[in-house]
Amino acid sequence: MRIGQKNSLLVVGMMLLVLVGVTGAGYLLVTGHVNRQISSDIQHAHEVYVQAQREAFAQLVSTARTIGQEPGLLAALLTAHPPTVRSTLEESFPRPGLDLLALSLENDPGRTLAEASKPHLVSPRVLASDAIQTLVRQVSQGARVAYGNAMIFETFLRLVAIPVVNPGGGVIGVMVLGQEIDQAALERHQPLLRTQVALYDDQALVGATLPARLAQLQGLEPGRVEFSLDGAGYLGRVYPVLAGDGRTPVARLLLAHASDSYWVPYRSFALQGLLVSGAVLVVAAVLGMVISRRTLTRPLSLLAAATRKIAAGDLSWKVELVRDDELGELAESFNRMLDDLRRSNEALEHNRRRFHDFAESSSDWLWETDAEGRFSYLSPGFKTSLGMDGQQCLGRTWQEVFPEDDLEALTARLRPQRDRGFPFKDLTLRVCLHDATSRDLRISGIPVREQDRFAGFRGTASDISKQRINEERVALLSNQDQLTGLANRRRFLVDLAHEIRRAQAHTRQGVLMLVDLDHLKLLNDAAGYAVGDEMIVQVAGVLERLARAEDIIGRISGDEFALTLPDLSLEEARTQAQRILDAIAECRPVRTKAGVPINVSASIGLVGFPDQGTDPVELIAKADSAMYAAKDAGRNRFEIFDATSMSREHIGGLLASRNRVLRGLEEDRFELHFQPIASVLNGEVHHFETLVRMRDDGGQLHPPSAFIPAAEQFGLIGRVDREIVRKAIYHIATLPDALGQVGFSINLSGLSVGEAEMLSLIEGCLDETGLDPARITFELTETAACENMALAAEFLSRIRQLGCRIALDDFGVGFSSFSYLKHLHVDMLKIDGSFIRDIASNREDQLFVKALVDVARGMGIRTIAEFVESEAAFRLLQRLGVDYVQGYHIGRPEAAITEAGLHGFARRLNPGGGQVVNG
């Protein structure tokens, strides 16, 4: 197609665009006008219908009063003789426009006499229905007249009730008149309303002037509706028809207009406009071709010839075209482009040489793989670093180059997921080279996409073998307790193992002493954690002062110290233990609250080695058993482990618990369960809490209370936390797309707060899976967050920088202060279950929760109530303003999450599927 033709098409296209725009705007305006006209007509029809209803009710009232004043009926009623009254009723019935005449006698309120145009209308079930009895009660209670509608046996009745007055004074009964509304009645109304009409309920279609069936109308909710019948579109409104109480809907009234009848004049106008527009477009096309030939085609032909020269590689070509318009500017741009292209080629060659020099001289090496994970490029640094020929590795995968190594962590990241890859950074692995030496590598990579398809990875790799050795050396030096400067638990266990081996080698004796401060938690609660820390430091000083040069001291938990006493018998250790007890009893803190007496004591357990054990953990367990025996005997004393008197079950239980946790980690026995946390507004699940269970050898699942204490005591809680976090994030990332917006919370123990390895794990898992961090909330207890406020604040800040949220668990039972929330910046507070279990009956719990919710809301923090076990507690928490609820009343923990589980509680909360709106 030539340029002139294209120019003509451009002109025509622009005119078409204008015409389409004008047509679209006109269509929207006409549509709005038609809809407003239909709505206005329907509103007018409704007003006419309401007026007709009033007149019909007025006619019924007039008829009722006429019948009630007939002497024969009054005389029959005064006799109070039912056969006489019934005979009189038969004479008064039928009457035009009347389908039911019923009398309820004042002296026999349980009996109603009636006549009707249809037999079923005088059945006891009909006469005793709520619709009629409501009107009778209203009149009996003093109403001069009562109105209402009723749907009875698929028959719609307009009802009115009036009192029958005794000429001598008082009321002798209530008269109820009913008028049936059927198909014929609706057809008589249609000319008056000038609209289509339908009257129906959920069970029957009373009548309709529309070609509609009941099933087609049942789905129309009260209010404005649009629907189609037999290919024709309708616009209308559904109104509720109410019973005598003025609240209960008994049927629905549909008023509707066919939309097509309003569009007829506009369609004729549109056809005429289309013919005129077509003629204008033809003229514009002809003029466009003539003008473009003179002004565009010839100059552009010269430019086209120039581009062919350039395409042939002749960058010295110059476009010779002198014009004072855009085409002249285009020719100048061609010439400038040629100059830029020459310079770009020179820069490209320079950059190629620069990249080659960088790749040659860098201590790191560069790599690239294709979509199948095969190497497509390896820089010269590969050979320099590993001593392997990179050219021979091209076309092979990582696993083929290093066949003896486990590279699953790397190959899993190089596999595309849903035709896309995820970037990874600083992945470390160890590979074995052909000379049997090993190297530690740090690898980073990013996915490559070509033509919007995954094409492989490219990245960098570094040999960090020397750095890893240095890190291991640093790790050996990082075994101090930060508060006291003593050896921490890990270092102490290493030193204790060494002392045991030395004692065995030289046939010597030694003693392990375990010192536990009495009532440290009470001291912290009474005087503050600063005082508690000061006492720990003082006790550490006492131990260092009284220890010998060869003794080893360690702080193995919050309030526990351990000492190895080599070349010392148990009898000699007794004297040392008593000296330590006496010295600890004299410790007094410098900082304390006025009026708070501070008395410090300790309980000590002693066990000998190697006679009473050679395993460090076993020895600590035995010393722990002796220490607890000292506590049971009154505290501020020591006890020596005696296998015949100490509880073997206590020691065996500790060791068995440690082994269960280790097997759970090594054999992947930890399983995830998920408990829903729902919004109190609509009952929909907001997010799930991730809970952990451990499966034993028999296949039975155990709750956290069965293994978390052991994991904390034996220093395994960090490994457990990391395993659960890793497993949870990868599980969430694999959920189906239908659950792609659901959030999850994951619990962290206090020992994981501030741990660099945990932060690195979280960041790595999020990068590898591509999971949206906003879906993850990390929960930690109030106590854990506040034991080291500065460390916790920094840790939580790093978590939030990743995009995750923070929730504070068990709020209200620990520090119970809102002041630290300014530093922690949490997103949610989880109210401890002790305030929720009895909240429905405990006024103090209600006041506490209300105060907590108000303060949290003022700080922009949402609240969660756990242990919600009843409907009464849920409704009360709704009124108190809690944001989310959790507990067995909402949903139990489940191993799998389904779409149905997202809405289960919402359906139980609102089984009708929505709020009830009174029309």
Mean pLDDT by 10 residues, the chain (919 residues): 64 78 81 84 88 88 85 79 80 82 76 82 83 87 89 87 84 88 84 87 87 84 87 89 86 87 75 77 73 68 72 70 72 77 74 67 80 88 83 88 83 76 85 83 88 87 77 53 84 92 92 92 74 89 94 90 94 94 87 62 94 89 88 90 66 71 88 93 91 90 84 82 93 88 89 84 92 93 65 85 90 60 83 87 89 89 93 93 94 84 74 41
The DSSP element (H or E) to which 171 belongs, if any, is strand 171-181
The pair of structure tokens assigned to 308 is: 């062919």
Residue 749, domain member (yes or no): yes
Cβ contact 89:114 at 8 Å: yes
371 lies in the same domain as 238: no
The pair of structure tokens assigned to 670 is: 């930890």
C-alpha dist (Å) from residue 683 to 679, 735, 752: 5, 22, 33
Residue 653, domain member (yes or no): no
734 lies in the same domain as 781: yes
Residue 519, domain member (yes or no): yes
43 lies in the same domain as 62: no
> What is the pLDDT, as a whole number, of residue 583?
94
Burial 178-196 (b: 16+ CB within 10 A, else e): bbbbeeebbeebeeebebb
- Neighbour count for residue 423 (Cβ, 10 Å): 14
Q: Which residue has the tokens 């879906």?
A: 775
608 lies in the same domain as 679: no
45 lies in the same domain as 65: no
Residue 719, domain member (yes or no): yes
Structural domain count, the chain: 5
Q: pTM (2 decimals)?
A: 0.39
Beta-sheet strand order (sheet of 249-258): 205-208, 196-200, 249-258, 232-242, 223-229
245 lies in the same domain as 169: no
Residue 335, domain member (yes or no): no
Look at residues 130, 152, 181 and tell me which one is the last residue of a structural domain. Answer: 181
Q: What is the 3-state secondary structure (H, E, C) of 721-789?
A: HHHHHHHHHHHHHCCCHHHCCCEEEEECCHHHCCCHHHHHHHHHHHHHHCCCHHHEEEEEEHHHHHHCH
Residue 291, domain member (yes or no): no
Residue 274, domain member (yes or no): no
Burial 55-89 (b: 16+ CB within 10 A, else e): ebbebbbebbeebbeeeebbebbeeeeeeebeebb
Q: What is the 3-state secondary structure (H, E, C) of 404-446?
A: CCCCHHHHHHHCCCCCCCCCEEEEEEEEECCCCCEEEEEEEEE
Strand partners, 862: 828
565 lies in the same domain as 492: yes
693 lies in the same domain as 755: yes
739 lies in the same domain as 700: yes
Look at residues 646, 676, 695 and tell me which one is the last residue of a structural domain. Answer: 646
Output the domain CATH number for residue 222. Answer: 3.30.450
Q: How far apart are CA 617 and CA 658, in angstroms?
A: 9
> What is the pLDDT, as a whole number, of residue 707?
86
Residue 638, domain member (yes or no): yes
Q: Three-state SS for 551?
A: coil
759 lies in the same domain as 869: yes
Cβ contact 678:686 at 8 Å: yes
251 lies in the same domain as 368: no
137 lies in the same domain as 201: no
> What is the pLDDT, as a whole number, of residue 110?
64
* Strand 862-865 to 884-886 pairing: parallel
Output the domain CATH number for residue 860. Answer: 3.20.20.450
Domain, as residue range, for 676: 662-909
Output the domain CATH number for residue 429. Answer: 3.30.450.20
Please give the angle made by the CA atoms of 906, 728 and 744, to the nearest 5 degrees: 30
> What is the pLDDT, as a whole number, of residue 782?
67
Look at residues 236, 262, 288 and tell me which one is the last residue of a structural domain. Answer: 262
Output the domain CATH number for residue 550. Answer: 3.30.70.270
